[in-house]
Structure 1
Amino acid sequence: MSLAVVNSCVLMGMQPHAVQVEVHIGAGLPAFSVVGLPDTGVRESRERVRSALQSSGFNFPVARITVNLAPADLPKDAAHFDLPIAMGILLASGQLAVESEHSPSVPLCIDQYMFAGELSLTGALLRLAAPVAVTWSAAKLGFRQVVVPQVCAEAAAQVSDVQVYGASSLPQLVEALLAHELVCALPEQAIMAGSDAVGLCMSEVKGQQQARHAIEIAAAGRHNVLLRGTPGVGKSMLAQRLITVLPELSEPQRLDVAVLAGVAGRSEPVDTLPPFRSPHHSASTVALVGGSSPPKPGEISLAHHGVLFLDEVAEFTGRALEALREPLETGGITIARAGRSVWFPADFQLVAAMNPCPCGWLGHAVQHCLCTPERIERYRAKLSGPFMDRLDLCINLKVEADVLDATAVMESSVQIRKRVECAQAIQHQRQGCLNSRLDDEGVALYAVLGGDAEQLLRQCVRRWGWSGRSVQRARKVARTIADLAGVEHIQTEHLAMAIQYRG
Structure 2
Amino acid sequence: MFARSFGGTTMGVDGLIIAVEVDSAAGLPAFDIVGLPDTAVRESKERVRTAIRNSGIQLRQEKVTINLAPAGIRKDSPGLDLPIAVGLLAAYGVVPADCLQTSFFAAELSLEGECRPVRGILPMVIAAREKGLTSVFVARGNANEALLVEGVTVYVIDCLHEVVQFCNGQESLTPAVPSMEEAAPVLRDDFADVQGQFQAKRALEIAAAGGHNLLMIGVPGSGKTMLARRLSSILPRLSREEALEVTKIYSIAGLLPQGGGLVQERPFRSPHHTTSMVAMIGGGSVPRPGEVTLAHHGVLFLDELPEFSKATLEVLRQPLEDRAVTISRVHATLTFPSSMILICAMNPCPCG
Output the TM-score relative to the length of structure 1: 0.66
Corresponding position: 1:333 with 2:325: yes
Cα distance in 2, alignment partners of residues 143 and 307 from structure 1: 36
Question: Does structure 1 conserve the Cα–Cα contact (< 8 Å) formed by 2:102 and 2:132?
Answer: no
Is 1:350 the equivalent of 2:342?
Answer: yes
2:136 is aligned to 146
Q: Which amino acid aligns with 2:119?
A: A
- Give 2:38's aligned amino acid: D
Task: Confirm or deny: 8 A CA contact 2:73 2:331 kept in the other structure.
Answer: no
Superimposed CA distance per residue, residues 435-483 of structure 1 (whole angstroms, 9 cap, x where no aligned partner): xxxxxxxxxxxxxxxxxxxxxxxxxxxxxxxxxxxxxxxxxxxxxxxxx
Answer yes or no: is the 8 Å Cα contact 1:11–1:17 preserved in 2: yes
Residue 229 in 1 paired to residue 218 in 2?
yes
Q: What is the Cα-based RMSD across aligned positions, in Å?
A: 1.9
What's 2:205 paired with?
216
**1:240 paired residue number:** 229
Q: In structure 2, do the counterparts of structure 1 residues 253 and 141 end up closer, same or farther at CA, with 3 Å as the change threshold?
A: farther
CA gap of 1:273–1:43, structure 2 versus 1, over 3 A, is same
CA offsets 1:363-410 (integer angstroms, 9 cap, x no match) = xxxxxxxx1xxxx6xxxxxxxxxxxxxxxxxxxxxxxxxxxxxxxxxx
Which has more helix, going by share of residues? 1
CA deviations 1:143-175 (Å, max 9, x no partner) are 332111133223321233332111111111121
2:274 equivalent to 1:275: no
2:155 corresponds to 1:165: yes
Specify the alignment match of 2:106 in structure 1.
116
* Offset of residue 254 of structure 1: 1.9
Q: Distance in 2 between the 1:140 and 1:191 partners? A: 28
**CA spacing shift, 1:339–1:271, aligned 2, 3 Å:** closer
- The answer for unaligned runs of 5 or more in structure 2 is none
SS of 1:143's equivalent? coil
1:10/1:339 CA distance change after superposition, 3 Å: same
**Matches of 1:169 and 1:349, distance apart in 2:** 44
In the alignment, structure 1 residue 262 sits paired with structure 2 residue 251: yes
Q: Tell me how far apart the structure 2 counterparts of residues 271 and 191 of structure 1 sit (CA, whole Å).
A: 10
Determine the structure 1 residue equivalent to 2:309.
Answer: 317
The answer to which structure has the higher strand fraction is 2
| Corresponding residue number in structure 2 for 1:293 | 285
Aligned to 1:252: 241
Partners of 1:21 and 1:85 within 8 A in 2: yes
State the AA in 1 paired with 2:313: L
- Tell me the amino acid that sits aligned with residue 4 of structure 1: A
SS in 1 for 2:100: coil
Shift of 1:217: 1.8
Q: Distance in 2 between matches of 1:88 and 1:10?
A: 17
Contact 2:14 2:123 in 1 (8 A): no
Q: Determine which structure has more spread, i.e. the larger CA radius of gyration.
A: 1
1:26: Cα distance to partner? 1.0
Per-residue deviation at 1:140? 4.7
* More displaced 10-residue stretch of structure 1: 134-143 or 312-321: 134-143
Identity of aligned residues (%): 44
- Asked if 1 retains the 8 angstrom alpha-carbon contact of 2:17 and 2:124, the reply is no
Provide the rounded CA distance (Å) in 2 between the counterparts of 1:216 and 1:343: 30
Q: TM-score, length-normalised on structure 2?
A: 0.92
1:60 alignment partner in structure 2: 59
1:126 to 107, 113, 116: 116
The answer to whether the Cα contact below 8 Å between 2:16 and 2:124 also exists between their aligned partners in 1 is no
How many pairs are equivalent? 347
SS at match of 1:109: helix
The superposition leaves residues 64-105 of structure 1 with CA deviations (integer Å, 9 ceiling, x where unpaired) of 1110001111111110111111111111111113xxxxxxxx
Measured in 1, the distance between the counterparts of 2:19 and 2:336 equals: 25
List runs of 5+ in structure 1 lacking aligned partners.
Answer: 98-106, 360-370, 377-503
